[in-house]
Structure 1
Amino acid sequence: MNYDEALSYINDKSKFGSKLGLASIGKLLEKLGNPQDGLKIIHLAGTNGKGSTSAYLSNCIMEAGYSVGSFTSPFLERFNERISLNGRDIPDEDLAKFTVKIRTAANEMIEDGLEHPTTFEIVTALAFLYYNQEDPDYVVLEVGLGGRFDSTNIIRESLCSIITTIDYDHINELGDTLEKIAYQKAGIIKKDGLVISYPQKEEVVKVLKDVSKDMGAELIFSTEDIEVVEKTDYGSKFNYEFNGIQLNNIKTSMIGEYQIYNATLAVTALLVLKEKGLIQIKNEDIYNGIFNTKWKGRLEILKRDPIFLIDGAHNLQGIEKLSGVLKLFKYKKLILGLSILKDKDVDSMLDYLMPLADIVISTEVSIARKLSAEKLADKIKKYDKEIFVEKNIKEAVLKSIELADKDDMIVFGGSLYLIGEVRTIVNLL
């Protein structure tokens, strides 16, 4: 099996979907020798901020001289991005090699009368096999969806469970109230474990406290003792205090005030792990790790003159943050390229974005859950904006550049599936 054949096997549409419970991934990993056992795992769940918090953690840990694996989802441009080690994607040959092993195990499951593992179960198994082979000092493991029944939650223990901000998303799978969603996210909390969370809404805090108590886990919240020193379209500077430890003038290269909060959650986790003797890390490592962190597709500026920004905001909370960040920039016209999946709160997302846009280009991604460019444009018409419909994403990008003067700003967002393709197109221009 070569690399392309491995991707074809992984992405076979017959494997899409999800299974309630961990029995399937458990059986698959058992047949593979339980490669997840023995890994030192930092496990993350939450609605927003998982990706950048994971990136902050990984970079700080690497600055301290450790090797670290990072499992994230989805990928933006290339599948291998999902499984990385010390900032380098899994090699094609390892991906193909381990996919052969997984296919053999999956076929044995079918012979046993079980269902075939899903795509995400296969990808999770791939990550565990790779990290078992490479034996990194730490693995930063990001949940795919929810937490309680997510394939990554097959792990028996973790160094800590980190809960990023929780809000409404995937309500069909996770529940239609914050309490229900929080209960699913809190499913990653382990018995007698350690839990670290950013301060949450009151109903979410109650769920985290209840689940932590039931599991005998220690729950620690990062503090709100944050002093924002500077916010620009090049990054931020802030002071942070936790448990009597004062860190001044922490700089982040990622844009947006919410990135400060994601950074403080990562810093809190590292300080707590250090206090408990689970990691050795200096303040200097934290400073360097935070500053050197980049996260593709999250408020990322691809070009300037004109400014071309992409953002993976794909739910209401993310769109609110994007709207706030745009105020940091100076521009004459805002040209907005947009694609949104039909199972999102499209109308509320548009209510935030449309007042900021001068011109809107409606486009669409190539997945079944897409809202067609025409239907999205129909929803935008009521905002009395100049609208262009370009179903092809490359044509949408070229149209935005054609319409923009050097002192304008182009923004593409609304879906992670959109911005990966946009990123590739713009970087090739």
Structure 2
Amino acid sequence: MNYEESIEFIHSTYKFGSKLGLENITRLTELLGNPQDSYKIIHVAGTNGKGSTSNMIHDVLMASGYKTGLFISPFLEEFTERIQVNKHHIDKESLAKITSLVKEKIAVMLEEGYNHPTEFEVVTAIGFKYFQEQNIDFLVLEVGMGGRFDATNVVKDTLVSVITSISFDHMEYLGDTLEKIAFEKAGIIKENSSVIIYPQAENVVKTISDVAEGKNSNVYVVNIKDIEKTRGNLTGQWFNYLKKDVFSLSETKMNFLGEHQLYNVLTALRALEIVKTSGYNVTEESIKEGLFTCRFAGRFEILRENPVIVLDGGHNINGIEYFSKAVKENFKENKITLFFGMLKDKNPEDVLPFIIPLCKKVYTLTPNNPRAMKSEDLASLIREHYEVEVAPLNSYEDTLPILNAAKKEDCIAFVGSLYMIGDIRTLLKNNGFIENK
């Protein structure tokens, strides 16, 4: 099996859908020798902020001298982004070799009477095996969906669990209240362990805390008073970490914009405190280095200035709300030109009040996904409620002449489905719109 054949096999398992449960992944990892038991794991669940928080933790551990794996989903531009070690994506030869091995073990499972693993279960198994072969020290493991029955939760032991911001998403699987969703996310907490909780609604924190206490685990709720933003510009923001009992940080820079990213870095720092107090060498210098170099494509990512072009994968109401706050903070009274595309099941009508009032003109796009809302339908929805000028575009390429005609003082934003943001990022990169990336 070569790389192309391995990708084809992985994507062919999409037809087996999304099935929450651990029976299949447990058997598959057993047949692979339980590779997930070979390294220390920081497990990260939540609705928003998982990727940013995971990347921050990963980059600090790497700067601390540890060989560190990162498992994320979905990918933005290349499939190999999902499985990384020290910022290097899994190589195509390893992916093909391990996929062949996983396919052989799936054949054994089917003979034993198990169902065929889903696509996410297959990718999770491939990642675990690759990380074992790479002999990593730590794995920062991002949950795919939910937590309790997510394939990543086959891991038996974690150094620390992290629960980021929770909002409404995947309700058909996780429940129709924040408490139900929080309960599912809290399913990653292990017995006699530690959990870090992003600062959020009391009912969410209580639900997670109750699960943790039932497992005799320590609960650490992040306190927003522990961070102070000192300054910021389009390259990032500087902050003081006011909690001094474990780390004594001087003013520190990160490349992420938006108030929510201050809370994400707080969450990451609290998780790193657990790593430090567990006997691992994480220093103030490695924190500064890791955060200074850490980037996460597609999350309020400034591609260039004059004109400003920003990409943001805010694909649900919580993500769009974060985006709108970041626009107000960084662009002040400047109205933006918005390129917007969402999936139908993400309730586009609910996010419009957060984003449309910030716009002087809107162009709608159709994400490359069967669940996408058509650009014409999204434009009609916006016109129904707002007087802003709206124009549906037929293809991503239609954005290029608009960008070429933009004025230096313009603020342009591509926002919505990550399926769209990844394709747009590739298009803009190939056409010279990304500076110094």
**TM-score between the two structures when normalised by the length of structure 2:** 0.95
SS, match of residue 414 in structure 2: strand
Aligned amino acid, residue 162 of structure 1: V
Aligned counterparts, 1:199-218, within 5 A: 199-218=199-218
- Cα distance in 1 for partners of 2:306, 2:26 equals 51
Identity %: 44
**Greater shift after overlay, 367-376 or 401-410?**
401-410
* Mapped pair 1:193 → 2:196: no
Instruction: For 1:323-362, list aligned pairs within 5 A.
Output: 323-327=324-328, 328-329=330-331, 333-362=335-364
Offset of residue 91 of structure 1: 0.2
Comparing 237-246 with 206-215, which one deviates more in the overlay?
237-246
> CA-atom RMSD, angstroms?
1.4
Q: Structure 2: how far apart are the matches of 1:262 and 1:280?
A: 22
Cα distance per residue 1:326-348 (max 9 Å; x no partner) = 12126855210011110112112
- Within 5 Å, give how 1:362-381 maps onto structure 2: 362-381=364-383
After superposition, residues 224-263 of structure 1 pair within 5 angstroms as: 224=224, 225-242=226-243, 244=245, 245-263=247-265
Which secondary structure state, in structure 2, belongs to the residue aligned with residue 200 of structure 1?
coil
- In the alignment, the residues of structure 1 paired with residue 412 and residue 134 of structure 2 have an alpha-carbon distance, to the nearest angstrom, of 41
Please state if 1:404 is matched with 2:406: yes
With 262-271 and 324-333 compared, the bigger mean Cα shift is at 324-333
Q: Structure 1 residues 332 and 405, CA, compared in 2 at 3 Å: closer, same or farther?
A: farther
Deviations 1:257-310 (A, max 9, x none): 211111111111112221232x11111111111121100111111122211110
The equivalent residue for 1:308 is: 309
Given that 2:13 and 2:117 are in contact with CA atoms closer than 8 Å, whether structure 1 keeps it comes out as: no
Shift of 1:99: 0.5
Q: Is 1:416 the equivalent of 2:418? A: yes
Aligned residue identity for 2:319: G
Please say if residues 248 and 284 of structure 2, whose CA atoms lie closer than 8 Å, have aligned partners that are also in contact.
no
TM-score of the superposed pair, with normalisation by structure 1: 0.96
SS where residue 76 of structure 1 aligns?
coil
Residues 157 and 190 of structure 1 are in contact (CA less than 8 Å); yes or no, is this contact kept in structure 2?
yes
Q: Which amino acid aligns with 1:35?
A: P
Q: Identify the residue that residue 391 of structure 2 maps to in structure 1.
A: 388
Provide the C-alpha distance between the structure 2 equivalents of 1:68 and 1:218, rounded to a whole number of angstroms: 24
- For 1:361-407, what per-residue CA distance to the aligned partner results, in whole angstroms no more than 9, with x for missing partners? 11111211111111111101131121121131222x21431452121
Query: Which residue identity does 2:121 align to in structure 1?
Result: E
Correspondence list, 1:267-306, <5 A: 267-277=269-279, 279-306=280-307
Instruction: Give the aligned partner of residue 435 of structure 2.
Output: none
- Contact kept in structure 1, 2:335 and 2:358, CA below 8 Å: no
Q: Secondary structure at the match of 1:36?
A: helix
1:355 counterpart letter in structure 2:
P
Partner of 1:36: 36
Aligned-partner Cα distance in 1 for 2:161–2:355:
33
- Deviates most, 402-411 or 263-272: 402-411
Q: Is the 8 A contact 1:256 1:325 kept in 2?
A: yes
Partner SS state of residue 121, structure 2 = helix
Structure 1 residues 46-99: Cα deviation after superposition (integer angstroms, max 9, x where no partner)? 111111111111111111111100000100000000000000000000000001
Deviation at 1:325, TM superposition (A): 1.0
